[in-house]
Structure 1
Amino acid sequence: MLRSRRVGLGAALRELVAEAAKASPARLALTVFSGMILLVTVMLELPIATVERERTPLVDALFTAVSAVCVTGLTTVDTPTHWSTFGLVVLMFAMKIGGLGVLTLASLLSLSVMRHMGLAQRLITASETRSERLSEVGGVLATIVITSTSFELLTFFALTPHMIANQYPLGTSLFNGAFYAISAFNNAGFVPEVSGTAQYVGDPWFSIPIALAVFVGSLGFPVILVLVRSWRRRAHWTLHAKLTLSTSALLFVLGWIGIALMEWGNPDTLGGHGTGTKLLASAFASVMPRSGGLSTLDVSQFAPATRLFVDILMFIGGGSGSTGGGIKVTTFALLVLSIIAEARGDRDVEVFSRRIPHETIRQAISVLVMSAAVVLVATLVMLELTGLDLDRTVFEVLSAYGTVGLSTGITPDLPTSAKCVIIACMYMGRIGPMTLGAALALRERSRVVRLPEERPIVG
């Protein structure tokens, strides 16, 4: 009797997921993602999740859950002193699941519940993972999980011996190593230690593994899959991989040089350290705005010009299909290339001996405008609710929307209404404006008749 009930419930669940995936895979993805946030919130609300064995206020539990699932790292409570071991394990689980991505998570649900994916689900998953063949989607998902876990294990094995050598107990070293590995690769930005990451400024055994994990995680699974395949066999590098790697490397170098020059003499950041530490700390700080959120320097002590520079890096974010946020490096690269092509009078946008379709440029412009609109509206609302200065407010909003996690220290003191604004920014920044628009669209517009063309004056 019990077995028949389970079979009946399983069949009903499979049918429900199948219908949802067929009707709108994007809405299914948002439903799964929102469900994960709700589940993590409930778990963090349990008294066992806190050191004091007391319930966390709902807004703080929700804020932390959204920050973890959306791999941001902003917090309204002190992570190592407020959350118990159980609470920290819940955060690790949330960061790992959230780092896989919205559509990947929904696809994995479809596979686990239905034992297969329908055509609609395969199409939208292929779009996120950039699979060339629909038959490869299942294998690509497995590769994503295996690859991400492998990078996390490499980071864990690199960090743990160093922590043991620094007189940490074995259990603490193992736990912190695993926490940092998951937090770094998934660009989550959560820290399990009371002393934070400032203690590791100038420490290459911590900074280099963490920075590498953040950088690789921010490249995006489509690029990682290309690199893995080219390592196994001489596979062709896609245009997306070339564009992402070259733009990411350029942004890293520019960020490294820019932060080093602007903070070199600042006594509150780099000024009091030697040349080696300055170079390492500025390189680490250049990687983190990609969406890493960890910092060995006090961001609140950055010069205003440096914070504006970091604002730009956070708005650009990481690669498409990555654990990072922002408008994505490929969007930024396409916009720059289109501006160059327009300035030169070229008819087409070309890069790496390939022509970029006009539809792709239009999508890049849409992402830029929608993201800028979200940031602008959120900043206006935050200024009205908090009365804070524009510099810190913009930094906080961009950090949330870019799912970065860097903060000038104002997050815990925000009123409840302002925390809700930051929650909305983190959520929209993680799922992406295009995914949100597709999920909320009631129907697709298809027009048979096209109106006559006429060019307005631009500029």
Structure 2
Amino acid sequence: MHPPQILASGFIIIILIGTILLTTPMASVDGRSVPFVDALFTATSAMCLTGLVVVDTATTYSVFGQMVIMLLIQIGGLGFMTMSTLFALVLKKRISLRERLILQEALNQNSMEGIVRLIRKIIIYSLSIEFVAFVLLTLRWSVDFPFAEAVYFGMFHAISLFNNAGFDLFGGVSGRFSGLALFTNDPIVSIIAMALIILGGIGFIVMSDLMEYKKRKRLLLHTKVVLFTSAVLIVGGAVVIFTFEFTNPATLGPLNGGSKVLASFFHAVSPRSGGVSTLDVGSFRQATQFFLIILMFIGASPGSTGGGIKTTTFAILIGAMIAMVRGKDDIVMFRHRLAKDRIYKAITLTLFALVIVIISAMVLSTTENHQFLMILFEVTSAFGTVGLSMGLTPELSTIGKIIISFLMFLGRLGPLTLAYALNPKKEKELFRYPEGKITIG
């Protein structure tokens, strides 16, 4: 099997194991088995770090079920190959060439050089960030909840937020499917959540590069593009949301000035793959909802826990447009010229993603009796592994649940990786056709 095939198979096997565990009676609060399709949907959402749910996590699943979900999130975030490498390093086993190839594919790297060293850094950074967040959230929630419950909430949400999974356990406190609505005016919880989503979404390559900046005194081009694009999307997104929702009585309207700014930034960060919300997304104005669809489609950055077409792909497309308008042959970013194959890959990935989202939305519009914007929002959220919902997910039909589950799987694995898994062979062309010209525009 080729590396993409192994990755796809590994994800499927772990999802099926998680599904079986979630269907056991001890995984539910009432002691009755959760329907197989609902358990499959939840396991896929957890493993693919999405956060869309057909049943409320806190009121449906027992502590055992929630622990299964948390474990699936951790495996999905680090990657099952990274977890395997962790055990191999602990047991002092040698990482084979084949395993390095799979890790290269899983982390979307261009070469195998330093791949094991990068894995070590990923494990250390991830666990360190999660532990710090766990301590901070536990201290904050110990004010409102019993200490044991605060510890449990802190652990679950630190893992969920850093891995951009979007699962929460406050359905039993503030109402089913309420998300983090209880903390709309809480700057501590909101800032910690945003920091975790951003750190999980910028990618392990960027974190590693930033940690080594003092020693190297320079940043990779990839890091510069990711940080610049992410900053523009977050700040620009917050301004757009603040502008459209400022007078909306169902969202920002009742909040004071500081809370309005905080909530605007929170919902500019969350669509990048975070999947949690402090406001009711279904109550946003349609213009804002469509803008969130755009942010979800772009998603996080390569080598991260997030989905979407990625910030670098979006940056390349904007760079190509600017270069074409200016009459330039090359796309230049931070005084570096981009290779043609990067541009072709960005265009292919974007068109691939657009086709998948459009076809899925068309199919769901025939199986689900809801507004098209709501369906498009849900489809994009699933494909971008975001987890935000306008309320459609709990009302999905069985066919709709299966389609959304496949979209979450496809969005996490990556459409190009899945395409390579189905047809991995590359044939070298022995000849080239003569060049032709067609009119554009």
- Whether the 8 Å CA contact 1:69–1:95 is kept in 2: the answer is yes
Q: Within 5 A, what are the aligned runs for 1:240-389? A: 240-389=222-371
Aligned residue for 1:173? 150
Shift of 1:27: 0.6
2:332 alignment partner, SS class: strand
Aligned residue for 2:206? 223
Aligned residue for 2:411? 429
1:76 alignment partner, SS class: coil
Which deviates more, 122-131 or 138-147? 122-131
Aligned residue for 1:5? none
CA 1:105 to 1:340, structure 2 compared with 1: closer, same or farther past 3 Å?
A: farther
Q: Percent identity?
A: 41
Structure 2 distance, partners of 1:106, 1:377, is 36
Q: Within 5 A, what are the aligned runs for 1:178-197? A: 178-194=155-171, 195=174, 196-197=179-180
Structure 1 distance, partners of 2:112, 2:48, is 27
- Counterpart of 1:410 in structure 2: which amino acid? L
Shift of 1:361: 0.3
- Whether the 8 Å CA contact 2:298–2:314 is kept in 1: the answer is yes
Shift of 1:432: 0.5
Query: Can you list the C-alpha shifts for 1:272-293, whole angstroms capped at 9, x where unaligned?
Result: 1110111111111110000001
Shift of 1:455: 2.6
Shift of 1:143: 1.3
Aligned length: 435
Shift of 1:453: 2.0
Aligned residue for 2:48? 70
Q: Indicate whether 1:393 and 2:371 are aligned.
A: no
Structure 2 residue corresponding to 1:153, chosen from 110, 115, 131: 131
Structure 2 distance, partners of 1:319, 1:109, is 27
Aligned residue for 1:9? none
- Counterpart of 1:229 in structure 2: which amino acid? E
Q: Indicate whether 1:202 and 2:162 are aligned.
A: no
Shift of 1:39: 1.0
Structure 2 residue corresponding to 1:406, chosen from 377, 380, 388: 388
Shift of 1:186: 0.3
CA 1:133 to 1:230, structure 2 compared with 1: closer, same or farther past 3 Å?
A: farther
- Counterpart of 1:310 in structure 2: which amino acid? L
Structure 2 residue corresponding to 1:86, chosen from 50, 59, 64: 64
Q: CA RMSD in A?
A: 1.9
Shift of 1:258: 0.5
Shift of 1:120: 4.5
- Counterpart of 2:205 in structure 1: which amino acid? P
- Counterpart of 1:51 in structure 2: which amino acid? V
Shift of 1:124: 4.9
Which deviates more, 299-308 or 189-198? 189-198
Shift of 1:133: 6.7
Aligned residue for 2:197? 214
Structure 2 distance, partners of 1:335, 1:132, is 20
Q: Indicate whether 1:144 and 2:122 are aligned.
A: yes
1:165 alignment partner, SS class: coil
CA 1:230 to 1:202, structure 2 compared with 1: closer, same or farther past 3 Å?
A: same
What TM-score do you get using the length of structure 1 for normalisation? Answer: 0.91
Structure 2 distance, partners of 1:116, 1:26, is 22
Shift of 1:130: 6.6
Shift of 1:116: 3.4
- Whether the 8 Å CA contact 2:308–2:385 is kept in 1: the answer is yes
**Unaligned segments of structure 1, at least 5 residues:** 1-19
Structure 2 distance, partners of 1:112, 1:364, is 37
- Whether the 8 Å CA contact 1:218–1:319 is kept in 2: the answer is yes
Structure 1 residue corresponding to 2:33, chosen from 55, 58, 61: 55
